[in-house]
């Protein structure tokens, strides 16, 4: 069996080495268009920042080592330009020549390429970079040092963009991030991204949101935004996302779907016989929504590479879809998410509720506790877990637990049951994951109901009186304009000050004390809901709408 694999990074190389472990006799050829295989894609920003100091650390494997250990024929700088499934053949560009390669089985793992927006003036600007591979990195670093650039503008504000923003700040550059969505990190919801945006600003990154770039002028030295703001810059870095690198399949007849992604069945087979595909280039099923999705992440790519090899030798390990877990460090904080976000749930008109926990990453009484904000999205009828987001410290652990719960089809009722490792340096007797589970369970049990920060105004317009149950000292440091105040610990004694005919929405700092107030009021017959996330969350996302006198 002669197996040709197109692409030698995550999915392709996982397929190649797994296939060798399963089959000593197969002829395995890997065609990689770049000069490196199996490089540390996710490490590139950290070499740019100087945290990874040795460029060799980015190169995990070499063709020679792969030949020696796995008897794999790795050919770099070979660009596949066409696939002809009927003839089981590929066209390959090698050193300017086009040659033909045959295969018995073909695995396509071409990955994704950065999206280059079609903006006037962009194509001719000499100072435009992307960062997807080591040559990109080398070019960008050479350009930064030879041109003496002092300002860099990142177009796009997603995960990779923010990693680069940090890296470039660490190199002492002035950095601007332009994101056309309402907030950076669009996979997160707005209130979760707000903390990250605050961190960026504190670290000297200029953040412009809600603004698309309209054109590029002055040979790339000026970006003109939709509102005609002009951003001066020495260097432009495009980080507006990636798309499947499938242009070479245009003539192949292989079915392409969402944004040019390769359509595959659960054994990774494409529409063409003997042609399989894995990694960033394939259309997967989002496990939560059931919808087609493109997920450009290392973890699914590696898994798919392994599984396609399994399928080639008849081991039935099928693609069960993806939940899309991702994380990004942003200076001294981090953001992570898994599953669907609130925006996606709204777009798909799925019934959902959200709960937020704000607290510490480990026991408060143990030194070094740091802030953690965790959001859970769930179906309030079935208890299905839709997704989770976290910002701050200890976010990887909580999102990993919730990603495991979602992948395993656990429900809201399972989260309070989870026994997570607890000693004061590591967590709390009730982990934040347990707590969001309890909060969600309270909603499902009808004990509590909440409104989100973006629903507060509508609730007030609809006639709900906002009741803040914090203490006067807390109010002095920041408060809602329209709220009345009764501190929680006085509530039982001051119930007569409230109108039983008046619907209320209660708030405190984080949403926890107001839940206690909600329970007291509910049992006294009041129509009351809780402002989820409390004043702190609202203030983070809408600082201009609160008073801090």
Contacts of a copy of itself in 468-487 (CB under 8 A): none
The region, left, alpha or beta by phi > 0 then psi within -120 to 50, assigned to residue 71 is left
**Which CB sits closer to a copy of itself, 116 or 418?**
418
Which tokens belong to 182? 């309402």
CA distances to 186, 325, 332 from 159, in Å: 9, 12, 15
Q: Which residues contact 188 (CB under 8 A, 6 or more apart)?
A: 196, 335, 337, 341, 389, 391
Q: Does 412 bind a copy of itself (CB under 8 A)?
A: no
Instruction: Examine residue 331 and tell whether it contacts a copy of itself (CB under 8 A).
Output: no
Per-residue mark of binding to a copy of itself, 13-32 (x: CB under 8 A): --------xxxxx-------
> What Å distances lie between residue 435 and 281, 357, 412, 432, CA to CA?
38, 7, 11, 5
Residue from the set 408, 463, 472, 481 that interacts with a copy of itself by CB under 8 A: 408
Restricted to residues 131-160, the positions that interact with a copy of itself (CB under 8 A) are 159
How many CB atoms lie under 10 A from the CB of residue 482?
11
Answer yes or no: 508 catalytic: no
Tell me, by CB under 8 A, how many residues bind a copy of itself: 91
**To the nearest whole angstrom, how small is the minimum distance from the Cβ of residue 417 to a copy of itself?**
6
- Under 8 Å CB-to-CB from 153, ≥6 apart: which residues? 175, 176, 177, 178, 223, 231, 233, 235, 236, 237
**Site for a copy of itself contains 527 (CB under 8 A):** no
Check residue 199 for interaction with a copy of itself (CB under 8 A). no
Strands laid side by side in the 213-217 sheet: 213-217, 222-225, 230-232
Nearer Cβ to a copy of itself, position 192 or 272?
192
Rounded to 10°, the helix 534-541/190-202 angle is 60
376-405 residues near a copy of itself, rule: CB under 8 A: 395-397, 399-401, 403-405
The nearest distance, CB 334 to a copy of itself, in angstroms, is 7
From 55-63, 74-82, 179-187, 450-458, span contacting a copy of itself (CB under 8 A): 55-63
Residues 6+ away with beta carbon under 8 Å from 445: none
Of 132, 169, 303, 451, which one interacts with a copy of itself (CB under 8 A)?
303
Q: Does 338 bind a copy of itself (CB under 8 A)?
A: yes
Is 323 a binder of a copy of itself (CB under 8 A)?
A: yes
Q: Which of residues 496-525 bind a copy of itself (CB under 8 A)?
A: 515-516, 519-520, 523-524
Q: Across the beta sheet with 78-84, what order do the strands follow?
A: 78-84, 89-94, 97-102
Using the rule CB under 8 A, give the single segment among 179-187, 190-198, 314-322, 471-479 that binds a copy of itself: 314-322
- Cβ at position 105, least distance to a copy of itself in Å: 18
Q: Which stretch binds a copy of itself (CB under 8 A): 37-45, 124-132, 234-242, 373-381?
A: 37-45
Which region among 27-35, 252-260, 364-372, 472-480 touches a copy of itself (by CB under 8 A)?
Answer: 364-372
DSSP 34: S
Pick from 246, 252, 325, 509 the residue near a copy of itself by CB under 8 A. 325
Q: What kind and span of H or E run contains 216? A: strand 213-217
In the bound state with a copy of itself, the residue whose beta carbon lies nearer, of 22 and 546, is 22
Whose Cβ is closer to a copy of itself: residue 92's or residue 177's? 177
From 85, 121, 387, 427, residue interacting with a copy of itself (rule: CB under 8 A): 427
Under the binding rule (CB under 8 A), the answer on residue 494 touching a copy of itself is no
Question: Would you say 364 or 499 has its CB closer to a copy of itself?
Answer: 364
62 binds a copy of itself (CB under 8 A): no
Catalytic residue among 40, 42, 495, 520: 42
| HEC per residue, 231-256 | EECCEEEECCCEEECCHHHCCCCCCE
Nearer to a copy of itself, 501 or 523 (CB): 523
- Residue 306, class by beta-carbon neighbours within 10 Å (0-12 exposed, 13-18 middle, 19+ buried)? buried
Alpha carbon of 255 to those of 7, 109, 511: distances in Å? 19, 15, 50
Choice from 6, 83, 336, 466 touching a copy of itself (CB under 8 A): 336
Contacts of 136 (CB under 8 A, 6+ apart): 44, 129, 130
For a copy of itself, the closer of residues 66 and 213 by Cβ is 66
Q: Give the pair of three-digit tokens for residue 321.
A: 């879809």
* Tokens describing residue 241: 């996302």
User: Binding residue for a copy of itself (CB under 8 A) from 198, 259, 329, 542?
Assistant: 329
- Residue of the chain from 86, 118, 228, 419 that contacts a copy of itself (CB under 8 A): 419
Alpha helices, DSSP H, located in 87-231: 134-147, 159-170, 190-202
Judged by CB under 8 A, the chain residues 77 through 96 that form the site for a copy of itself are none
Query: Which residue numbers are catalytic?
Result: 42
């Amino acid at each position: 069996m002669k197996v040709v694999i197109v692409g030698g990074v995550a999915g392709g190389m996982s397929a190649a080495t797994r296939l060798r472990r399963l089959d000593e006799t197969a002829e395995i050829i890997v065609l990689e268009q770049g000069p490196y295989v199996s490089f540390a894609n996710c490490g590139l920003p950290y070499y740019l920042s100087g945290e990874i100091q040795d460029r060799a650390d980015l190169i995990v494997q070499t063709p020679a080592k792969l030949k020696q250990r796995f008897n794999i024929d790795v050919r770099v700088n070979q660009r596949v330009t066409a696939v002809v499934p009927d003839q089981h053949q590929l066209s390959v560009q090698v050193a300017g020549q086009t040659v033909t390669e045959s295969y018995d089985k073909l695995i396509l793992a071409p990955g994704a390429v950065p999206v280059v927006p079609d903006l006037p003036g962009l194509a001719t600007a000499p100072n435009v970079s992307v960062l997807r591979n080591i040559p990109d990195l080398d070019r960008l670093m050479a350009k930064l040092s030879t041109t003496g650039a002092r300002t860099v503008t990142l177009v796009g504000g997603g995960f990779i963009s923010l990693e680069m923003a940090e890296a470039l700040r660490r190199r002492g550059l002035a950095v601007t991030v332009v994101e056309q969505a309402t907030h950076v990190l669009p996979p997160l919801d707005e209130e979760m991204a707000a903390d990250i945006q605050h961190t960026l600003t504190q670290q000297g990154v200029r953040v412009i949101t809600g603004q698309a770039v309209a054109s590029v002028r002055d040979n790339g030295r000026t970006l003109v935004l939709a509102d005609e703001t002009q951003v001066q810059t020495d260097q432009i870095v495009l980080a507006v996302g990636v798309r499947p690198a499938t242009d070479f399949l245009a003539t192949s007849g292989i079915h392409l779907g969402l944004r040019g992604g390769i359509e595959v069945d659960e054994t990774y087979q494409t529409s063409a016989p003997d042609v399989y595909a894995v990694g960033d280039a394939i259309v997967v099923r989002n496990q939560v929504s059931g919808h087609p999705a493109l997920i450009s992440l290392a973890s699914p790519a590696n898994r798919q590479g392994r599984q396609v090899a399994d399928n080639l030798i008849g081991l039935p390990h099928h693609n069960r879809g993806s939940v899309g877990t991702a994380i990004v460090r942003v200076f001294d904080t981090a953001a992570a998410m898994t599953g669907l976000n609130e925006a996606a749930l709204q777009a798909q008109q799925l019934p959902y509720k959200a709960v937020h926990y704000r607290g510490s990453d480990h026991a408060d009484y143990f030194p070094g506790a740091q802030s953690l904000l965790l959001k859970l999205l769930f179906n309030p009828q079935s208890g299905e877990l839709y997704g989770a987001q976290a910002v701050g410290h200890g976010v990887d652990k909580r999102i990993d637990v919730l990603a495991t719960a979602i992948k395993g089809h656990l429900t809201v009722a399972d989260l309070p049951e989870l026994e997570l490792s607890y000693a004061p340096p590591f967590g709390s007797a009730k982990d934040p994951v347990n707590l969001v589970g309890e909060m969600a369970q309270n909603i499902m049990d009808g004990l509590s109901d909440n409104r989100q920060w973006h629903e507060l105004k509508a609730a007030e317009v609809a006639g709900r009186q906002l009741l803040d149950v914090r203490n006067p000292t807390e109010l002095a440091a920041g408060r809602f304009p329209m709220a009345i105040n009764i501190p929680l610990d006085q509530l039982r004694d001051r119930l007569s000050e409230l109108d039983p005919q008046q619907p209320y929405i209660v708030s405190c700092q984080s949403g926890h004390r107001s839940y206690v107030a909600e329970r007291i009021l509910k049992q006294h017959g009041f129509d009351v809901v809780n402002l989820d996330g409390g004043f702190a969350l609202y203030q983070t996302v809408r600082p201009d709408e609160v008073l801090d006198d």
